[in-house]
Amino acid sequence: MLISERRKTNCIVIDTEKCKACHYCISVCPRDIIGTSKEINRLGYNYAEVISDKAHECTGCKSCAIMCPDIAISVYRCSRSESGTIS
């Protein structure tokens, strides 16, 4: 019987419609987990987004959320299973 290993991780959630592309979050992230999207939100900005390949590296420092002047970023503690499912 295999038991799925659960690891604690951090999840960054960016409200792309609130983001005004100041990119403060990108400049303060110590792991370079946040980048600029190629997509444009309803305000006409290339919003910030989490780089999916690096998302698991988040330390949960919340620097991105603290620096965001638009309160568009939240950081949560969550569990990630071996299969990559987040809960």
User: For the segment 28-85, what is each residue's pLDDT rounded down to a tens digit?
Assistant: 999 999 999 999 999 999 999 999 999 989 999 999 999 999 999 999 998 765 555 5
Nearest 5°: CA angle at 69, between 66 and 71?
A: 70
Q: Give the total residue count for the chain.
A: 87
Report CA-CA distances (Å) from 12 to 5, 46, 54.
21, 18, 11
Task: State pLDDT tens for residues 7-39.
Answer: 678 999 999 999 999 999 999 999 999 999 999
Q: Which domains does the chain have, with CATH numbers?
A: 6-81 (3.30.70.20)
pLDDT at 3 over 60: no
pTM above 0.85, yes or no: no
In terms of phi and psi (left: phi > 0; alpha: psi -120 to 50; beta: otherwise), the region of 59 is: alpha
Beta-bridge mates of residue 86: 80
